[in-house]
Amino acid sequence: MIIRYAITNNKLSLFDSLIIGKPWPLKISVAGIALDDSKKQVVCCDKEDNSLYVLDTQAKKVLSHFSLDGEGYTCLLSPNHKLLYISCWGCDKIVLFDTEKQIITGSIAVGDNPNDLCVTGKGEYLYVANANDNSVSVIDTKQQKVIETLNSALYPGSPSGSTTTVWR
């Protein structure tokens, strides 16, 4: 489930929750969340059942469920909210999800174990941190391809995977 809180008198208080699936032993573990207020939707990727979920925040229910080829790490909406980028940790790619048509439209191969994502203000470039090869993939979002890979190793000869990663 996703639990939502409100801030009341400078304190967190339970607002409501969105149920994604049945409790244990069903393995659902939300790893990344993106909120689209205009559509009243939350999208989230899951690292246990390799899925993307689209939830309605008003009806508090799952609208759709999509299988990924590996563990989802996080997701990020494009500035215009028409495209969702999903870092697929377990399949070394960025999955592209059309939020208007509600379909997976493709993917872009990146480095090993992609995790955190950052998109430029106008959405021209997407930066992807690749945990297991100490790199950042730079994606031209119009061409939907990697145009550069930056070395982010701590020092020359750093072992693969030595850059820090926070598992959400």
Residue 107 included in any domain = yes
Residue 156 included in any domain = no
Please count the structural domains in the chain. 1
Residue 168 included in any domain = no
Residue 159 included in any domain = no
Residue 43 included in any domain = yes
Instruction: Tell me the whole-structure pTM to 2 decimals.
Output: 0.90
User: Is there a contact between 75 and 34 (Cβ–Cβ < 8 Å)?
Assistant: yes
The per-residue pLDDT for 165 is 58
Structural domain boundaries, residue 103: 2-151
Give the count of alpha carbons within 13 A of 102, CB side only.
13
Q: What is the mean pLDDT of residues 54-80?
A: 95
Residue 161 included in any domain = no
- Sheet of 61-67: strand order equals 30-36, 41-46, 51-56, 61-67
Q: What is the mean pLDDT of the chain?
A: 91
Q: Residue 13, class by beta-carbon neighbours within 10 Å (0-12 exposed, 13-18 middle, 19+ buried)? A: exposed
Per residue in 83-140, pLDDT (tens digit) is 999 999 989 999 999 999 999 999 999 999 999 999 999 999 999 999 888 899 999 9
Residue 166 included in any domain = no
Residue 165 included in any domain = no
| Alpha-carbon span 74 to 58, nearest angstrom | 23
In the predicted model, is pLDDT for residue 167 greater than 80? no
